[in-house]
Amino acid sequence: MSTIPPPVEQPGHHEGGVTDAENSIELKEIAGLSQGQIVRKRFFRHRGALISMVVLAFIIVLAFTSVGVAFGNWKSGGWWPYTWNIAVAIENGGRPTLSLFPFAIGNHPFGQDEIGRDIFAVVMRGTQQSLMIMVIVGAIATFIGTVIGAISGYYRGWTDSVLMRFTDIIITIPVIVIGAVLGRRFGISGAPVLAIILGLVLWTGLARLVRGEFLSLREREFVDAARVAGARDRRIIFRHILPNAIGVIIVNSTLLMAAAILIETGLSFLGYGVQAPDTSLGKIISENQVAFSTRPWLFWWPGLFIIAIALCINFIGDGLRDAFDPRQRRMPTDKALSRATFVTEKSA
């Protein structure tokens, strides 16, 4: 960067503040709507988030219907003819049969590995595991983080000190390190156990954020009013303060889920995550990274699914942030702005 570029003036839009025209657009859009409706409306106009929702839903349906689900000994079949743990005769040298021109899916669209397992089935099973881990980690970490943050932010004093020092202790240990140590012990017990354990260490960032929110919200007038009206602490925390902090919590728990999926795949790659005979996206990559030059498809597909899931979650999180944060205005189009400017000038 050699020069600081001067700001470009947009018509009717000032860098530092908000014009009347912008305000009138904003007010007209939200007139007569409830908070939930405003949030929903703002979320649905974030195009990236909307597309991500559709893609993620497609991936979830694809992963769970194609090869069916299995818990322990119970199994349900899917519409895909192969499963992730049974090898079949190798066709076509194991190369993927998926082609776009002319479009064809073939018997093994993602190819086969060296013993003949269908990679599509393996990747689908891995996607299932990663999605499940993501949801469990998200739920547990959000719950713990919210409770600890809420209690220490609301009560302050020594409760706050104890809880926050405890949070600091966990934060000091890099997530991958504590995840590996715990994964080595609990990875054999299956993916759900691993997910619970990961959830137990990933809540720290959220706890700090929720605490900060509570510290500022508890000084507000509506909390004083509730206290004067005789509400007990539990009611104030859950009915008065928590709904006001829900934006921060939801946004950060989505980002937490995106982080969880990357951490799980990273741990599985190092060998401390999901263990054989089960599989996960990280484990597939770890097993096949030496075969990259001969069988690159073993490597491409699981990676693409990890990126697709994490990218979708991140975009949904961004959409939620825009929806919940009233300070983050969408920039109105020039046309809408000039019309609004015209209207406000005429009425003035």
Amino acid 50 reads L
| Residues within window 8-67 making contact with other proteins, judged by CB under 8 A | 8, 15-17
Closest CB 279 distance from other proteins, rounded Å: 16
Residue of 307, 326, 336, 345 interacting with other proteins (CB under 8 A): 307
Q: Biggest alpha carbon distance in the chain? A: 79
Residue of 172, 219, 232, 276 interacting with other proteins (CB under 8 A): 172
Q: Directed axis angle between helix 47-66 and helix 297-324, to 10°?
A: 140
- Report the residue number, 61 or 169, with the smaller CB distance to other proteins: 169
Total Cβ atoms within 10 A of residue 205: 18
Segment near other proteins (CB under 8 A); pick from 64-72, 222-230, 265-273, 333-341: 265-273
Residue of 114, 168, 233, 334 interacting with other proteins (CB under 8 A): 168
Segment near other proteins (CB under 8 A); pick from 2-10, 55-63, 95-103, 332-340: 2-10
Structure tokens at 156: 């302050």
Closest CB 137 distance from other proteins, rounded Å: 16
Closest CB 182 distance from other proteins, rounded Å: 7
Closest CB 81 distance from other proteins, rounded Å: 29
Closest CA to 328 of 232, 224, 247: 247
> Per CB under 8 A, does 293 bind other proteins?
yes
Q: Phi, psi (5° rounding) for residue 104?
A: -155, 140
> Per CB under 8 A, does 275 bind other proteins?
no
> Per CB under 8 A, does 320 bind other proteins?
no
Structure tokens at 7: 């700001």
> Do residues 77 and 83 touch, judged by C-beta distance below 8 A?
no
Closest CB 227 distance from other proteins, rounded Å: 30
Closest CB 314 distance from other proteins, rounded Å: 5
Half-sphere exposure of 210 (CA within 13 A, CB side): 34
Total Cβ atoms within 10 A of residue 328: 11
- Report the residue number, 242 or 281, with the smaller CB distance to other proteins: 281
| Residues within window 181-240 making contact with other proteins, judged by CB under 8 A | 181-182, 184-185
> Per CB under 8 A, does 174 bind other proteins?
yes
Q: Phi, psi (5° rounding) for residue 70?
A: -140, 125
Q: Which residues contact 138 (CB under 8 A, 6 or more apart)?
A: 199, 253, 254, 256, 257, 260
Closest CA to 320 of 26, 50, 18: 50
d(CA 281, CA 126): 5
> Per CB under 8 A, does 169 bind other proteins?
yes
What letter would DSSP give residue 239? I
- Report the residue number, 25 or 236, with the smaller CB distance to other proteins: 25
Closest CB 121 distance from other proteins, rounded Å: 21
> Per CB under 8 A, does 276 bind other proteins?
no
Total Cβ atoms within 10 A of residue 4: 6
Going residue by residue from 105 to 124, which x/- string records binding to other proteins, judged by CB under 8 A?
--------------------
d(CA 330, CA 118): 46
Closest CB 240 distance from other proteins, rounded Å: 27
β partners of residue 87: 117
Closest CB 331 distance from other proteins, rounded Å: 6
Total residues interacting with other proteins, rule: CB under 8 A: 52
> Do residues 266 and 178 touch, judged by C-beta distance below 8 A?
no
β partners of residue 70: 75
Positions in the binding site for other proteins (CB under 8 A) = 1-8, 15-17, 165, 168-178, 180-182, 184-185, 258, 262, 265-266, 269-270, 272, 282, 285-286, 289, 292-293, 299, 303, 306-307, 310-311, 314-315, 318, 327, 331
